[in-house]
Amino acid sequence: MASMATTLTSLSSNPKPAFFDNKSSFHGSPISSRVLPIKVSPQSPTISMSSASPYNLQSFKFEPIKESIVAREMTRRYMMDMITYADTDVVIVGAGSAGLSCAYELSKNPSIRVAIIEQSVSPGGGAWLGGQLFSAMVVRKPAHRFLDELGIEYDEQENYVVIKHAALFTSTIMSKLLARPNVKLFNAVAAEDLIVKEGKVAGVVTNWALVSMNHDTQSCMDPNVMEAKVVVSSCGHDGPFGATGVKRLKSIGMIDSVPGMKALDMNTAEDAIVRLTREIVPGMIVTGMEVAEIDGAPRMVISEKTFQFHHSFPIHQTEELLTTLIVLLPCG
């Protein structure tokens, strides 16, 4: 980890842009100052209050603009993002709960640029639902502290808490994360391969997801690239589009084997993923369920979709996080 620590220490020592407020939550302010209080209406809504419309819908009209303006705005901004993040600090492959949580923690330092690559149109992975397509999400303590930081309500039990719908976690962390100016999510984009230079992972090879999925039926369509000082692979467990990072490392001889997950043992598995998240080859961190694939840790179920973010959950020592990339420290 020496080279990784050196890289990220130098990143964290860069002067912060002037337009960032030092009082911002980017700088790791305490949970108490970041959790928004629950707003309670002074009176219960009545039928007239809830049904009242502020507009005369018969005469309502949007401001007119040309279709070409829409096209130019979307194209210009996306192309500028591609130029900005063609050479970036951190690329996170996979926007499930592990990838989103990792990006959330890293982006607290505004001098670190974070690009997230997600093959699906809809980021979030399987964290939109709990186990077996049920809606509730079960979170073992002390991970509820991360929910406190995000301002998500839950039903508290002795050793765990329950979010009434898993989508509350995913939508909340995404909305907070994507509002940060040093983060860009490239969804509907696939990471087709790794960039490897002198034995170090130095970025990813990218393409539109629909192109990647149809290489067998179309002529060869050349990809693009995104260079990075650090690549974080959080591609989930094995499957048609899962564990792609570690499987590629094996195929190019950078690791010896991918033993796959063992049979289910939730209590063992979740602690193991926290403990084993690390830099497995120079320049590349593996986290989330992909860790279980490379280390043969047990699989998880029921709250499986939740605990993929344990590797980065509540971390306020931001500079230490940037030194080792992933710091597994409890709050307190």
Enumerate the known binding-site residues for substrate: 98, 118-119, 126, 191, 222, 237, 289, 299-301
Element (H, E) at 72: helix 67-84
Q: pLDDT, tens digit, for every residue of 35-93? A: 444 444 445 555 555 555 677 888 889 999 999 999 999 999 999 999 999 999 999 99
Global pTM reads 0.76
Output the domain CATH number for residue 301. 3.50.50.60
Q: Phi then psi for 233, rounded to 5 degrees?
A: -100, 115
- Residue-level pLDDT at 243: 65
The conformation of residue 262, written as its DSSP 8-state character, comes to B
In a domain, 137, yes or no: no
In a domain, 327, yes or no: no
Q: Which of 296, 310, 284, 315 is nearest to 203 (CA)?
A: 284
> What's the maximum distance between 2 C-alpha atoms anywhere in the chain?
69
Query: Which residues are annotated as part of the binding site?
Result: 98, 118-119, 126, 191, 222, 237, 289, 299-301
Helices within 264-317 (DSSP H only): 266-276, 289-295
Domain with 180, as residue range(s), is 2-12+87-128+165-318
Flag whether 201 is in a domain. Answer: yes
When divided into structural domains, the chain yields a total of 1
Quote the CA–CA distance of 192 and 197 in Å, as a whole number.
Answer: 17
- Locate 91 and state its tokens: 């690329």
Whether 231 is covered by a domain: the verdict is: yes
pLDDT confidence of 300, banded at 50, 70, 90?
low
144-158: pLDDT as tens digits: 999 999 999 999 999
